[in-house]
Amino acid sequence: GENVEQHPSTLSVQEGDSAVIKCTYSDSASNYFPWYKQELGKGPQLIIDIRSNVGEKKDQRIAVTLNKTAKHFSLHITETQPEDSAVYFCAASWQGGSEKLVFGKGTKLTVNP
Amino acid sequence: GAVVSQHPSRVICKSGTSVKIECRSLDFQATTMFWYRQFPKKSLMLMATSNEGSKATYEQGVEKDKFLINHASLTLSTLTVTSAHPEDSSFYICSASWFGGRARINEQFFGPGTRLTVL
């Protein structure tokens, strides 16, 4: 089955700096890669996603890149703000297959003012 | 985006009792709902997948007789933790997806979660 590894487990940056979180996946059939932000005591919130027919996607300060050959994808947050502090999860799934999301272990991002 | 609610948000119960958690899609019809369990500072672990009108598909290692899932309508799925024990204490999160229209394939909308504490 699919296995998703996520690094780093914790990340601390200064406000205004960029943050990068990386994930690798094992199943080449996976073709949908969402990123979720989870605040304490709340459910995950989708912040951006990418499908395998695209190499990069950007939404304001957030971008995701995908390298299908290497089976890895990354989340980039620019101009970080204290409200970006949260736990971020990457996930992978197979569109047209099981539909199940397999999550990474999460990255706790702390943005220091 | 689409909204998914869960009720209750928190529940405390005595060991041996059963607890029901509801998951509702408020502004769309969910063809599939997923139930996850999350331990403190850990990732989400998929427990089961349910499709409206059919039996849920449980992940390996999840006791189907302990975690009863009912997906009776396109907007409601319930998770019942039967004969709860302290080790069942956890954060339970549901998600819903709809293929076609507003939701793209594979996009899941998550509920806010339910904190279960078994004494």
pLDDT of A113? 94
Using CA atoms, how far apart are residues A48 and A46, in angstroms rounded to an integer?
6
* Site of tokens 């139930």: B35
pLDDT of A49? 93
Using CA atoms, how far apart are residues B64 and A63, in angstroms rounded to an integer?
39
| From A32, A44, A96, residue closest to B110, measured CB to CB | A44
**Is B100's pLDDT higher than 60?**
no
Q: Which stretches of chain A drop beneath a pLDDT of 50?
A: none
pLDDT of B105? 60
- Strand pairing report for A4-7 and A86-92: unpaired
Helix (H, G, I), strand (E, B) or coil at B95: strand
Hey, how many other C-beta atoms are within 10 angstroms of the C-beta on A30?
Answer: 22
**Is B101's pLDDT higher than 70?**
no
Say whether A99 and B49 touch across the interface (CB within 8 A): yes
**Is B16's pLDDT higher than 60?**
yes
- Minimal C-alpha gap between B97 and chain A (Å): 10
In sequence order, what E strands does B1-119 have?
4-7, 10-13, 19-25, 32-38, 44-51, 57-58, 67-73, 76-81, 90-97, 109-110, 114-118
Hey, how many other C-beta atoms are within 10 angstroms of the C-beta on A48?
Answer: 19
Task: Please name the amino acid found at residue B15.
Answer: S
Say whether A100 and B34 touch across the interface (CB within 8 A): yes
Task: Please name the amino acid found at residue A6.
Answer: Q
Residues facing B32 on adjacent strands = B51, B97
pLDDT in tens, A89-101: 999 998 766 678 9
Helix (H, G, I), strand (E, B) or coil at B56: coil
Cα-based distances in Å from B27 to A14, B1, B36:
39, 9, 21
Using CA atoms, how far apart are residues B28 and A71, in angstroms rounded to an integer?
33
